Amino acid sequence: AVAAAAVMAGQTGLVQAEGACDPGEVVIKFSHVTNTDKHPKGIAAELLAKRVNEEMNGKACMQVYPNSSLYNDDKVLEAMLSGDVQLAAPSLSKFEKFTKKFRLFDLPFLFKDIDAVDRFQNSADGQKLKESMSRRGLTGLSFWHNGMKQLSANKPLIKPEDAKGLKFRVQASDVLVAQFEQLGANPQKMAFSEVYGALQTGTIDGCENPWSNIYGQKFFEVQDGITETNHGVLDYLVVTSTEWLKGLKPDVREQFLKILGEVTTERNAAVKKVDEENRQKVADTGTVIRTLTDAQRQAWVDAMKPVWKKFEGDIGADLMEAAQKANK
């Protein structure tokens, strides 16, 4: 079913994709919300599909549905539990309904960079988090990196007070809501696919995104520059249904997980380059990128940090400490 490696972008494609799997092959539908080209998740998903379709031909067949063409992140995990999709890689902020532990990753200024995130995720504490939704029927398979988040709005953001009164789009995460409330701003939870339009029409004023999302969704077109805050992380968990995974033949499961592990290692190792390239592409459009002095950045830390205390009960002080150790 090598033909099924083709990426499906819409309803017409969807029908085509279904026809492309051979009878007897395990169909693995992978639904995600970003673009495919030059995006960390898009690249990794395509590489995974390519390898599964080539190396597991006759046994398994993967179809990738990017750009929220099948489900947005609000729906995808429910769809997984009902067997409509087998794989997804929502950002860690999207697991709120399934585990409060993942709130850790949304704490502002917790990880100093993506290397620290990587060290923590690969620690025993980080790996254990992949199992934290098993009661709810989901198994975390691999963490995939994107990058650190930057702030933007329809006016320059230099001081925390600049964000006051502005409406910011947030992912479906109460930590991110609290982070913007801490600034006196108005956070609004919204699906990723709606953000560009909402910025354009002024329904919202600003947002927070890693460089690959800023470039991939062209948010720079409808924002007054980007402030390089690196204030939080946007990473992913490749997730599947526990029941589906258990139901696979052992050799199919083993081969699939081996390929996923290799794709994860390869693409996570390359992610800083992708992040940097997308930052450069944003800069090349003439978009103003505002960097902060240490003192200016510290003011954002001071403004946002009280959020940590609010969620310590959900996350656990031990886990928060373990994560901080990864900053070295």
Chain residues that interact with ligand LMR, rule: CB under 6 A: 33-34, 41, 91, 146, 171, 192, 213, 234
- C-alpha to C-alpha distances, 76 to 91, 195, 221, 310, 324, nearest whole angstrom: 12, 18, 28, 28, 31
Indicate the angle between helix axes 317-325 and 114-121, nearest 10 degrees: 120
Cα–Cα distance list, 100 to 93, 158, 304 (Å): 10, 32, 20
Residue with tokens 């819409």: 10
Q: What is the dihedral of CA 316, 318, 321, 323, to 10 degrees?
A: -70
Task: Please enumerate in sequence order all residues whose Cβ is within 8 A of that of 187, keeping only pairs 6 or more positions apart, or say none.
Answer: 167, 168, 169, 170, 176, 177, 179, 180, 181
Closest separation in Å from C-beta 157 to ligand LMR? 18
Report d(CA 224, CA 276) in Å as an integer.
Answer: 20
Q: Cα separation of 97 and 106, whole Å?
A: 14
When the beta carbons of 42 and 126 are compared against ligand LMR, the nearer one is 42
* Shortest Å distance, C-beta 165 to ligand LMR: 22
Q: State the CB neighbour count (10 A cutoff) for residue 187.
A: 24
Residue 95 or 256 having the CB closest to ligand LMR: 95
CB of 294 to ligand LMR, least distance (A): 28
Taking the least distance from each CB to ligand LMR, the nearer of 42 and 160 is 42
> Minimal distance in Å, beta carbon 93 to ligand LMR?
6
Nearer to ligand LMR, 71 or 192 (CB): 192
Whichever of 33 and 157 has its CB closer to ligand LMR, that residue is 33
Would you say how long the chain is, in residues? 328
What is residue 42's three-state secondary structure? helix
What is the rounded CA–CA span in Å between residue 108 and residue 303?
10
Q: 39 or 130, CB closer to ligand LMR?
A: 39
Nearest distance from C-beta of residue 151 to ligand LMR, angstroms: 13
Please state the closest distance from residue 233 (CB atom) to ligand LMR, in A: 11
Task: Tell me the residue nearest to ligand LMR as measured from the CB.
Answer: 91
Nearest-approach distance from CB 271 to ligand LMR, in angstroms = 12
Nearer to ligand LMR, 152 or 171 (CB): 171
